[in-house]
Structure 1
Amino acid sequence: MQVLDRRKALAVAPLLRLAFRPMFLAGCVLALLAVPLWLAALQGVLGSWQPAGGWLAWHRHELVFGFGLAIIAGFLLTAVQTWTGQPGLSGKPLAGLALLWL
């Protein structure tokens, strides 16, 4: 993390100091919820109910736009400060981005 002002950086909650932290956490929580749901759907535990487009369409959507987007965004937003020399997102803007993903 590029620290330009140490006091300002320490004022931000540790979870929101670097972009990979909330995004990787969100991706992991999504995986923890989606895998059992997907297994239950495959075993027929949920009965005849299906999301719009069917289970395969839901799985494709949550994999690309859920898990994949969170992990890629977390990595890129953290790495961009090394690549460009500019500070990355942290604090309230990062929290807003994580909420937007959610």
Structure 2
Amino acid sequence: MSVELRTLVTKVRCKNAGPFWLTVDIFCGTPQAYARVVRGLHTARIATAFDVEACTIKRFDIAELNVVKFSLPRPTVQGAKNDRDMHGASWAALVGEIPI
């Protein structure tokens, strides 16, 4: 049975990694939650949510910290006329809704 990612983890955080990149940090809290997220959250799902190509995403599974991290190109350049989130933070809510 799938549940929303945010119900499994301690925190989902998104932020800028410069004007062209975003970073998504998923703090799992426990080794059990971490294992489920690593198994169930595919990079392609993040690509779909952000409307970017999966091959442009860098994924880091950090078992020692129970953290899964993604770095990806921003859908729009920070500060561009059509940028709706200057800090990249609102994407965390979208990621939190992904079923695992």
TM-score by length of 2: 0.31
More strand by share: 2
* Higher RCO (C-alpha 8 Å, min separation 6): 1
> Of Structure 1 and Structure 2, which has the larger fraction of its residues in helix?
1
- Structure showing greater radius of gyration is 1
